[in-house]
Amino acid sequence: MPHRSETDSRALLRRLRDTLASKAEGQARLNRIVALIAESLMTEVCSLYLFRDAETLELCATMGLKPESVHKTRMRLGEGLVGRVARTGVPINTGDAPSEKGFRYMPETGEEIYSSFLGVPIQRVGEKLGVLVVQSKAARQYSEDEVYGLEVVAMVLAEMTELGAFTGAGEGTRALHVNPVMFRGGTGQEGTAEGHVWLHEPRVVITNPVADDPERETERLRAAVNQLRVSVDDLLAAESLDKDQKQVLEAYRMFAQSRGWARRMEEDVARGLSAEAAVEKEQSAARARLEQVPDAYLRDRLHDLDDLSNRLLRILTGQGADTGAQMPPDPVLVARNIGPAELLEYGRSLKGVVLEEGSVGSHAAIVARALAIPLVIHAERIASEALNGDRILVDGDQGIVHLRPEETVAAAFRDKMAMQARAQEQYAGLRHLPAEARCGTTIGLHMNAGLMADLPSLEGSGAEGVGLFRTELQFLVRSKVPRREELAALYSRVMDAAKGRRVAFRTLDIGSDKVLPYMKPQDEPNPAMGWRAIRVGLEKPGVLRMQLQALIRAAQGRPLTVMFPFVAQASEFTAARAQLDQAMDHEARMGRALPSSIEVGVMLETPSLAFAPRAFFEGVDFISIGGNDLKQFFFAADRENERVRRRYDTLSTAFLDFLRLVVRRCGDTNTRLSFCGEDAGRPIEAVAFAALGLRALSMRPASIGPVKSLIRQVDLAGAREVIEGAIARGEDSARPFLMDYLRTQG
């Protein structure tokens, strides 16, 4: 027989459901909600605080406090007891509120006569929506039963925000999934796009959080949990799993088999929640607890818990990965994160990509650049806020996303896109012209690539060749090491598509942020400076040799250009070159055609290589400065760390002086030198590099037009004088002086 508290709770939830479903205006509905809760829990005060914005809470309804304080009383996240509950996601229950740490007295509310305080978060799987508070004059702590009951009520309120239950409840409050929202993230790939949201993993939408038949809901929940456990056991039984994968799945099964997890969900159902709402309530509560844990390993278990909860929700609702929704004609992909293979499956059908996680060097960012798709990373909580079909604007240049934008914002955004389109039309007119500066110096402009899909851009962009072909993408998107024949066929198609233009194939650059799915991750404290790129190739020579043989076969008697990544000292180049010589000897013995000519170069990505012996510069055919990595090691600023990666200017006089050293050393030995990376595609930076003596730049195809346009308007000798003057005077950066000079050039 159910406890009285359970029957009272179910009765309250049903009354709340009816109130939320009523046609009353938002404020009237909220007033009725707090009155119902106060009456049911027999407290003198019940108040509802909702987020006005991401950092501000507002009192939106109250029973017991002064009515005139509604929509007037506000507090910052973390301020006072209400702000603490909102920040931590954990209830506060005290019989003496004024003595609690962080208590803030709000004189306009008249709450000074109430000693007892119980506040619970209104949250939904990581989304902070508000705080529900009850207070009384008597100095007492609320019972566990009362705390639990209020948490169940808060869960129902959280679920009802999906349906716009709080819409119209004062100017400050917002209905989830209804109002415009702007997200500030980071730039993963430049460009702008307008389209409609396509969720990579759509959230399960719960339409009825309150159940009328607890016994039937309990049966549904138990059946779904049993089905979930069987599916996890089936995953573990797969013969293809290695030791590490099994360890991960064992931890996964531990969550699924947790009796406490199942018991708490059944107790939620007994209180009146539907099975689905019970799953989300426990998911939200566990998230709030784990997010406060300092241990990184335990916080990572959030992903396991979220995945299990989402699987359970899909079993309960029948909303599988294939929801039957139709992808819009202009899809912008929104996800927490995504792997390179999954992103490649979408291909160029996407207008843009927005991720909650990711990094500038992540697999997804690499693929997005290859596909020329605008990408914004670190757009926190967008996957929770967005719904399939929502209108969305992506500004990859600024790292800004507008979800459900107002028309004035959309109009301004379209104006920006139109200006960019007009500029691209102007650049297209320069396609067949050389990047010749006013002083008569010509700069070779090349493009970066990594997929066959990139190669058509050679013609359209006016690139003279491929200055960097990233070979690791073919390894990243497969579940096992590709075969030599597969690679040879691919590299041959790349050369065919280049139609005689030079293609510089960079050998496998894995490690750091680029971990192969079939390669055991290395537990390194600083992977960017660890076992990666040529270091892996020299210690695993079988893979490097196999790739070099594939490149030789792909050439089929044509010229071949190979460069080795992340070479830090001359001996590494010598060892890598020896591997290439062995591969050439092997192919010759096999009677296969050798390349008609071969160029062998390196990427200069560590400052140490600039100080290599002269014999190194004489022995290498060319050097390509890998600007992205070189900058992070020169300034000791992690390129994956948003707090520091933008702190240092590429046009710092110290960095430019270092580049002068590299140019001088290459000039002494007549070694060809180029600059490859994001900065090469930024017109101002490109002019600076050209002025210093770099005669070849490699960039993404879309940057070639803007760079060529500016170079053709500039006297590089004058630009060099400006830069050298800034260096001589000891200025921090040459940027303002170069900008002034460019303005004088028109």
Tell me which residues are annotated as active site: 363, 676
Q: Are strands 56-63 and 45-53 parallel, antiparallel or unpaired?
A: antiparallel
Question: Going by C-beta distance under 8 Å and a sequence separation of 6 or more, which residues neighbour residue 688?
Answer: 650, 651, 656, 719, 723, 734, 738
The number of residues making up the chain comes to 746
Number of H helices, E strands in the chain: 26, 23
Which token pair is 72? 């007037």
If phi > 0 it is left, if psi is from -120 to 50 it is alpha, else beta; for residue 525 that is alpha
What is the secondary structure of 45-74 as a DSSP string? EEEEEEEEETTEEEEEEEESS-GGGTTT-E
- Cα distances from 652 to residues 665, 696, 732, 740, in angstroms, run 20, 21, 6, 16
Answer for the pair 19, 33: CB distance below 8 angstroms, yes or no.
yes
DSSP 8-state class, residue 326: P
Q: Are strands 352-355 and 375-377 parallel, antiparallel or unpaired?
A: parallel
What is the secondary structure of 351-392 as a DSSP string? SEEEESS--TTSHHHHHHHHTT--EEE--TTHHHH--TT-EE
Which token pair is 21? 């479903």
How far the first Cα of the chain sits from its last, in Å, is 85
Q: What is the CA radius of gyration of the chain?
A: 31
Instruction: Give the Cα separation of 436 and 710 in Å (integer).
Output: 10
HSE, side-chain direction, 13 A CA sphere, residue 584: 17
DSSP 8-state class, residue 202: P
What is the secondary structure of 293-319 as a DSSP string? ---HHHHHHHHHHHHHHHHHHHHHH--
If phi > 0 it is left, if psi is from -120 to 50 it is alpha, else beta; for residue 615 that is alpha
Amino acid at 145: D
If phi > 0 it is left, if psi is from -120 to 50 it is alpha, else beta; for residue 466 that is beta
Instruction: Give the Cα separation of 624 and 10 in Å (integer).
Output: 69
Beta strands in 105-249 (DSSP E): 116-124, 127-136, 181-184, 186-189, 192-199
Answer for the pair 283, 304: CB distance below 8 angstroms, yes or no.
no
In this structure, the number of other CB atoms found within 10 A of the CB of residue 5 comes to 15
Question: Going by C-beta distance under 8 Å and a sequence separation of 6 or more, which residues neighbour residue 113?
Answer: 137
Q: Are strands 503-506 and 192-199 parallel, antiparallel or unpaired?
A: unpaired
Which token pair is 442? 């010509």
